[in-house]
Structure 1
């Protein structure tokens, strides 16, 4: 199973982000139901024991709910594959939560994440460098701001590989303000 821990966005923010979608040649927009803020990508996880360790690690994280505010858009380009994203207002609470997730998963047996945490919500993808239409899209939406939202749980997602748009399945929720969680469903 390809897994990642994330903050799932409320429908109001998903609607706001989906309103940014435009017909731009070469851009594959992600479906709004897939919008989330990844805290830690785990990759392929094999074996029930490690899956149980991950579940236990995420269930043990205690933190206050996190307030988030969407802010601006941009482009990541790496190895010919580019991604359109929406950013977030910097937040110490979010940075602290992500560090707790990283620490808990390392204790569960996962290797340390090599990439620096850059909080964002992926909106779409395209090949190559941004063309004038994509640059214009970024310029038109770089002042994006949402209302403040409060996220009260971490979600463990299973990422299903597809040829075009991503498909994510929520496996478990871990409340930030409570000790109990929704148990992981066996697959």
Structure 2
């Protein structure tokens, strides 16, 4: 299964970011329900023992609730991964959380993440190089700001490929107070191996 750790967004932030959508040639907007802030891409995991190590590692991450705030927009033009995204105002709490997750996953046996962490929320895929209309959209929303929303947990997501849009399934939630809480329909036992669906 293809996994990543991320912050889910509040309904208010989803509504704000979805309000930025407009028809632009070559731009495919993601559904608002897929919006998230990736903390660590994990990748394809097929080994159950490694999956259990990842579960334990993420459950061990400590932290306190903090607020995130969407701020501005940007574009990534990496080959085959051109994206429009909303930025997130940097904070020490967010950086610490991401660093602790990275450290925990490396102790679980995953290789180090090579890319520098840049907090953002993917909004759309580009079919090619940004044109004048895309640049105009960016300029029009560069000063976008959201109100802060408190985050009390991070989530382990499973990614499914789809023809129309990515589909993300919540596998487990890890509250900052410690332990694991299960989303509806999931069987999760705090502190025990195999705490999420495999």
Q: TM-score, normalised by structure 2?
A: 0.91
1:97 has 2:97 as partner:
yes
Query: Who is 2:127 aligned against?
Result: 127
Query: Who is 1:35 aligned against?
Result: 35
Shift of 1:11: 1.0
Equivalent residue runs for 1:108-127 within 5 Å: 108-127=108-127
- Conserved 8 A contact 1:80-1:129: no
Distance in 2, Cα, partners of 1:132 & 1:180: 46
Query: Who is 1:186 aligned against?
Result: 197
- Conserved 8 A contact 2:172-2:180: no
Equivalent residue runs for 1:8-157 within 5 Å: 8-157=8-157
- Conserved 8 A contact 2:68-2:150: yes
Shift of 1:148: 0.7
Deviations 1:81-102 (A, max 9, x none): 3100000111011011000000
1:171 has 2:175 as partner:
no
Deviations 1:39-91 (A, max 9, x none): 00011011111111111001111101121111000101101531000001110
Distance in 2, Cα, partners of 1:81 & 1:156: 22
Distance in 2, Cα, partners of 1:37 & 1:54: 19
Distance in 2, Cα, partners of 1:80 & 1:41: 17
SS class of match (1:81):
coil
Q: Any unmatched runs of 5+ in structure 2? A: 183-187, 189-194
- Conserved 8 A contact 2:61-2:178: no
SS class of match (1:24):
coil
SS class of match (1:40):
strand
Shift of 1:12: 1.0
Q: Any unmatched runs of 5+ in structure 1? A: none
CA RMSD of superposed structures (Å): 1.1
Shift of 1:165: 1.1
How many residues are paired up?
Answer: 187
Distance in 2, Cα, partners of 1:95 & 1:86: 17
